[in-house]
Chain A
Amino acid sequence: MKTTNIMIVGVGGQGSLLASNLLGTLLVEQGLDVKVSEVHGMSQRGGSVVTYVRFGEKVYSPVIDKGEADYIVSFEMLEAARWLPYLKSRGRVILSTQRIDPMPVITGAAAYPDALIEKIKATGALVDAVDALKLAQRAGSVRAANIVLMGRLSTYFNMPLEAWENALKECIPPRYLDLNKEAFKLGRNAHN
């Protein structure tokens, strides 16, 4: 079995750690070897963050290198563009259409590139763009956008919904569970 590589990228504070924990929990339950590499500390303060999830029969390196990612799940458009060089040829980008200006854009020192989704598609990458913020809001909180994207990602894996729901139950405190289950479903059933 080949190792599958998933990168979860976004802006510090968007909930990438919860998303990677969810994936890790799910994959271990499937009896696979799994490594999840996270970033803590300084980068969490609104910086660009990346989490690597790798699974297969035997996984050695905890990180994913350029040209290796089967999937990039991005919580923000610019971050998808930043990490694009890590995507395999014909890999898939699942992205939230949310835009968060980084400080150089806020201060006017740099510009936020336009038409990013089209440009990413033009490289040959498969793109699944979701308005995760809107769906999360519909589920009850904008903070659940990370779980909306996990719902979207789930459509590319041949794993029963029940396994995902069990993983959600394990990773999310009971009082937020229903909201997150709803967010997951909205992502899973979202139309492109």
Chain B
Amino acid sequence: MKRLMLGNEAVARGLYEAGCRVVSSYPGTPSTEITEYAAKYADIYCEWAPNEKVAMEVSFGASLAGKRSFCAMKHVGLNVAADPLFTLSYTGINAGMVIGVADDPGMHSSQNEQDSRHYAIGAKVPMLEPSDSKEALEFTKIAFDLSEEYDTPVLLRMCTRISHSQSIVTLSEKTNSETKPFYKNIRKYVMVPGNARLRRPIVEERTARLIEYAETSPLNRMEMGNAFLGIIAAGTAYQYAKEVFGKEASYLKLGMVNPLPEKLIREFAEKVDRLIVIEELDPIIETHCRLLGLSVEGKTLFPMIGEFSQNLISEKLGRETKAGKTLEDEIPVRPPVMCAGCPHRGIFYILSKLKLNVLGDIGCYALGAAVPLNAMHTCICMGSSISSLHGFNIALGRESEKNTVAVIGDSTFLHTGVNSLINIGYNGSNSTVIILDNSITGMTGHQQNPATGYNIKGDPAGKVDLEALCRACGINRVRVVDPYDLEECEAVVREELDADEPSVIIARRPCVLLKHVTHGPPVFVKKEACRSCKICMRLGCPAIHLENGKAAIDETLCAGCEVCISLCPFDAIQADKEGV
């Protein structure tokens, strides 16, 4: 049966068909939908873990117990989970264990552009890379077989264009994977130095066997066309190359990107006149070819940065590129904005008004850094706001304690922020942390988290009490505010900055896009009362704009949060249309 499927959905289907039983993940664009689709299969247990390290360890536990398991994450999530990964390479697994990691060339939704193939090389584990949804499904199943045959976790590398493109897949029946018995095996699973030293050579032997496998595996294939040009490529780069050259070139299409074959590459190189590697991000296949002593072109032609496309490949190889018409007018950019009615807006308005230093974190609220709020001054990685605030305040003392805060979302706080708060409680910097609790993981498209009280299926689940958790970390001053109430927010932020001990402010209001959140009626501007002071424009609300110098509200966008009403010094914005 053929169906059109998103790459991520195809991975989920592959999990089902491979008889995977346990999936634990943390959401992260572009990997999120793998786990959401997997959760639709009744025979797969799925969960959102608080972070990727937890997810990978849960997945390992399930594998150890004898069930095929999986965890998914975005590329930067693998940084968090790198710790178990590097040692799981030594211990190996029991039932098959596959780790989905989704890179984001072009940084559509990420803070960096790292190439996760480095992790496969570093941890010495095999990595497969599909080039469309069909392969995403097939490779997922093959990954489980390889995992069991070679006793190793297997990485499945996705990227934005594979994860978020739909193409046609062929569905098969589910294979029933058997539960493997768990035997205690201290030498294999207890990685104290003495045992780890024994496992270390096994990793190298395994890699040697995997290279042998790569030489003849159906994952890697030659497609001979015109031998004038030989292209080695994997993933999307292969598709772009095929689009441009079709049968006018020959291809070595790699489905396994670690370890790379040697004989197969040499054989291909001998068959073609000119050998080039087309790969996005880092020159990993190219470097491998050079180590084999081959004459090859790669990054001298193609950029290290960003996504490729058919035009880019045409241009770099001296082919004619297509171009369309452009208007003479300057087209204003349309950056993403905080939604109308977003509960983060009120807090950021106050932080902006008080001209504070704001150490930020990963989530929708990174939009607080955009004009006109300009109220976030760092965004590094999950949880870093709180730890950096501690360091900032230790470095500057009273000078910064009174004008510097950290902002972090509920999901991000539970991901890795809580460790940083423990550090503040323990080492006692007089820091003020604001948890923006919108009661969901927002940016990735509304996933539940340990503070929402619901699990991935939407069923009631354990609920972390954020106030109690903060107190347990040693923070005595824990305040809760409504971010729609600007007056309260300002007063509490001032008080907590003034306090002589660390504090946490929880700004709590659910994301305005959640289905259960009811919107107020749109508000209205009383034109004659508007004095064009433009204070309301400082909110950066997409529903507010100027018409002939006076404020106007787009009622199709307005969510009725009424934050602008409380801000207007002339009572020109009103909730009641009758008064207009």
A positions within 8 Å CB-CB of B: 11-13, 24-25, 28, 33-48, 59-63, 65-69, 78-79, 81-82, 84-89, 91, 101-113, 116, 119-120, 123-125, 142
Contacts and interface: CB of A to CB of B under 8 A. Distances in A.
5 contacts: A11-B334, A61-B310, A62-B167, A65-B311, A102-B333
A62 B309 CA distance: 9
A112 B243 CA distance: 36
A124 B325 contact: yes
A112 B332 contact: yes
A110 B325 contact: no
B164 A39 contact: yes
A62 B556 contact: no
B371 interface: yes
A61 B336 contact: no
Nearest to B338: A45
Given A34-B168, A41-B443, A103-B370, 20 more contacts: A11-B334, A12-B336, A35-B167, A37-B166, A41-B444, A46-B336, A63-B161, A65-B310, A66-B311, A67-B324, A81-B329, A81-B331, A82-B331, A84-B324, A84-B325, A85-B323, A105-B545, A108-B546, A116-B329, A142-B556
B541 to A, nearest CB: 9
Closest 6 CB pairs of A and B: A67-B322, A41-B109, A41-B29, A47-B336, A110-B332, A102-B334
A54 B402 CA distance: 56
B537 A65 contact: no
A151 to B, nearest CB: 21
A102 B335 CA distance: 7
Contacts of A78: 331-332, 334
B240 A61 contact: yes
B325 A87 contact: yes
A11 B340 CA distance: 14
B309 A65 contact: yes
A30 to B, nearest CB: 12
B4 A24 contact: yes
Contact of B165 (A35, A81, A110, A116): A35
B230 to A, nearest CB: 18
Nearest to B322: A67
B4 A25 contact: yes
B372 interface: yes
Nearest to A52: B165
A66 B326 CA distance: 10
A133 to B, nearest CB: 9
Nearest to B312: A65
A40 B164 contact: yes
